[in-house]
């Protein structure tokens, strides 16, 4: 009988059923404890990595020359690889503990693109949200260590004849696919002035794309910069530029424009610097380019309906405002009943020694008043360059000629 039972259950089905009825608990299996140990290690590492990262981030901040600061938190992610710093604050040495920080970033995140990392290429993206930067003009002298570091950087740049590609080549192979600054602001103070005037640039949105340290990483895409911001609550600033830092000398070109800036919003600054207040609308247009170390560019400045008024009591302020208004009435053209002053500022020279040209700028104002107005936008740019160096009288003659206009002087003249 037993033999026939064994024959009927030759595949152990009945034994398996019996074993299933009396299954051993999981904790009695060795493999169970192996997986528990692995999970515990991963959990412990995950809990410990953020505090460790915060400690080393703070050490990095403490090693900065001329600044001290802190962070409120650090978060490390493995999938995808990311490093996030929260509440980063930097304060210049020598200032009070509660002084306004030079830089404050609510969230700063660096991400490594896993798909590229699997191809053994380091490609990163950096995002800074709610960055607040402060420039304290003349607040303190930089420490000697910072001055020495600046001298070394300058010496290195001159040594390589402004070949930033050579400098970048010393870094690890890296492509910063995109660097973003979002919803940020910049405040400039002149603390050397007792009135402490300030200029506020808000709603800064900036993107820098394709910053590389090796030519074979650029994917035939140039470095691109785009920026938009609001100046003094009224003016809209837009910048668009492209360049190649890996060339023998940096090559770049671009345009910038500032439109709708109300001079009333700069009252604090003009009051502190000149003792007067101004009204009117400022529009500025800039184009620039550099190739093989040679620099060229133009700035067109147009002020619509300018007017100056004394900002404080006293004869001196009234005299300044009167003289300015007299100059405006003489040098402004009339366009549909509105007064307008405009000129162009040519820029020639090299990256070593930019040369803003003053006489063509002054004569551009004269031409705007007595010959014709300057059109809005980039239509008059770039400023034509004379074939050879001209004297002041010859430049003035061209400026007052309706068919000529002021010319920039040849580079190096």
Contact in structure between 102 and 91 (CB atoms under 8 Å): yes
At residue 30's C-alpha, the angle toward residues 29 and 33, to 5°, is: 100
Q: What average pLDDT does range 355-372 have in this prediction?
A: 54
Identify whether residues 104 and 241 lie together within a single domain.
yes
Identify whether residues 54 and 78 lie together within a single domain.
no
pLDDT of 370 above 50: no
Buried b (16+ CB within 10 A) or exposed e, 133-166: bbebeebeeeeeebeeeeeeeeeebeeeebbbbe
User: Of 27, 48, 63, which residue sits at a domain end?
Assistant: 63
User: Of 43, 63, 83, which residue sits at a domain end?
Assistant: 63
Identify whether residues 52 and 126 lie together within a single domain.
no
Three-state DSSP at 386 gives coil
Q: What does the block give as tokens for 259?
A: 């439109």
Top-confidence residue, 406 or 203: 203
pLDDT of 224 above 90: yes
Q: Which is it for strands 175-190 and 123-137: parallel, antiparallel or unpaired?
A: parallel
Identify whether residues 94 and 48 lie together within a single domain.
no
* Short-list 86, 88, 64, CA closest to 76: 86
Top-confidence residue, 142 or 13: 13
- Band the pLDDT of 212: cuts 50, 70, 90: confident
Top-confidence residue, 216 or 304: 304
Top-confidence residue, 104 or 337: 104
**What per-residue confidence (pLDDT) applies to 84?**
93
- Band the pLDDT of 360: cuts 50, 70, 90: low
**What per-residue confidence (pLDDT) applies to 80?**
81
Identify whether residues 347 and 360 lie together within a single domain.
yes
Q: What average pLDDT does range 376-398 have in this prediction?
A: 61
Which has the minimum average pLDDT: 9-18, 185-194, 208-217, 235-244?
A: 9-18
DSSP 8-state class, residue 96? -
Three-state DSSP at 341 gives strand
Based on the structure, what is the number of domains in the chain? 3
Identify whether residues 369 and 226 lie together within a single domain.
no
Identify whether residues 204 and 85 lie together within a single domain.
yes
Q: What average pLDDT does range 304-326 have in this prediction?
A: 79
User: What are the angstrom distances between the C-alpha of 386 and each of 231, 356, 372?
Assistant: 35, 15, 20
Identify whether residues 105 and 175 lie together within a single domain.
yes
Whole domain around residue 221: which residue ranges?
A: 65-248
**What per-residue confidence (pLDDT) applies to 380?**
66
**What per-residue confidence (pLDDT) applies to 16?**
62
- Band the pLDDT of 413: cuts 50, 70, 90: very low
Residue range 64-85, pLDDT digits in tens: 877 888 999 998 888 788 899 9
User: Of 194, 222, 248, which residue sits at a domain end?
Assistant: 248
**What per-residue confidence (pLDDT) applies to 258?**
92
Q: Residues for the chain: how many in total? A: 413
Phi, psi torsion values for 360, nearest 5 degrees: -60, -30
Residue range 39-56, pLDDT digits in tens: 777 676 666 778 888 888
- Band the pLDDT of 201: cuts 50, 70, 90: very high
pLDDT of 89 above 80: yes
Identify whether residues 343 and 388 lie together within a single domain.
yes
Q: What percent of the chain has pLDDT over 90?
A: 18
Positive or negative: CA dihedral 8, 11, 13, 15: positive
Identify whether residues 115 and 187 lie together within a single domain.
yes
**What per-residue confidence (pLDDT) applies to 32?**
67
Separation between Cα atoms, residue 210 and residue 123, nearest integer Å: 10
- Band the pLDDT of 315: cuts 50, 70, 90: confident
* Mean pLDDT for the chain overall: 76
Q: What average pLDDT does range 103-112 have in this prediction?
A: 93
Three-state DSSP at 32 gives helix
Q: What average pLDDT does range 204-214 have in this prediction?
A: 88
**What per-residue confidence (pLDDT) applies to 237?**
95
Identify whether residues 379 and 296 lie together within a single domain.
yes
Identify whether residues 242 and 304 lie together within a single domain.
no
CA atoms lying within 13 Å on the CB side of residue 403: 0
């Amino acid at each position: 009988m037993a033999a026939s039972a064994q024959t009927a259950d030759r595949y152990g089905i009945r034994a398996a059923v019996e074993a299933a009825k009396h299954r051993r608990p999981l904790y009695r299996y060795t493999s169970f404890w192996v997986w528990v140990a692995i999970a515990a290690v991963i959990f412990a590492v995950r809990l410990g990595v953020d505090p460790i990262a915060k400690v080393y981030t703070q050490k990095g901040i403490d090693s900065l020359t001329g600044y001290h600061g802190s962070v409120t938190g650090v978060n490390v992610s493995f999938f995808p690889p990311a490093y996030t710093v929260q509440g980063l604050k930097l304060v210049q040495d020598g200032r009070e503990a509660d002084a306004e920080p030079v830089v404050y970033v609510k969230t700063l995140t660096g991400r490594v693109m896993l798909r590229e990392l699997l191809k053994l290429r380091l490609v990163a993206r950096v995002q800074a949200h709610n960055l607040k930067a402060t420039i304290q003009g003349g607040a303190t002298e930089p420490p000697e260590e910072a001055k020495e570091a600046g001298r070394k950087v300058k010496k290195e740049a001159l040594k390589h004849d402004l070949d930033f590609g050579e400098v970048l080549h010393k870094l690890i192979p890296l492509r910063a696919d995109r660097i973003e600054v979002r919803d940020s602001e910049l405040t400039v103070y002149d603390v050397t002035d007792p009135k402490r005037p300030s200029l506020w640039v808000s709603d800064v949105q900036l993107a820098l794309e394709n910053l590389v340290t090796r030519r074979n990483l650029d994917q035939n895409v140039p470095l691109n910069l785009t920026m938009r911001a609001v100046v003094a609550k009224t003016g809209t600033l837009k910048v668009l530029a492209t360049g190649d830092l890996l060339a023998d000398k940096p090559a770049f070109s671009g345009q910038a424009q500032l439109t709708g800036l109300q001079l009333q919003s700069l009252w604090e600054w003009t009051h502190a610097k000149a003792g007067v207040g101004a009204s009117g609308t400022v529009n500025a247009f800039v184009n620039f380019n550099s190739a093989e170390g040679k620099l060229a560019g133009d700035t067109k400045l147009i002020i619509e309906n300018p007017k100056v008024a004394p900002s404080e009591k006293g004869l001196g302020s009234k005299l300044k405002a009167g003289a300015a208004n007299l100059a405006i009435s003489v040098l402004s053209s009339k366009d549909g009943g509105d007064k307008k002053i405009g000129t162009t500022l040519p820029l020639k020279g090299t990256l070593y020694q930019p040369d803003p040209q003053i006489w063509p700028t002054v004569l551009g104002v004269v031409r705007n008043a007595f010959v014709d107005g300057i059109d809005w936008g980039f239509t008059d740019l770039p400023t034509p360059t004379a074939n050879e160096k001209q004297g002041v009288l010859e430049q003035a003659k061209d400026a007052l000629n309706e068919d000529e206009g002021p010319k920039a002087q040849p580079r190096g003249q």
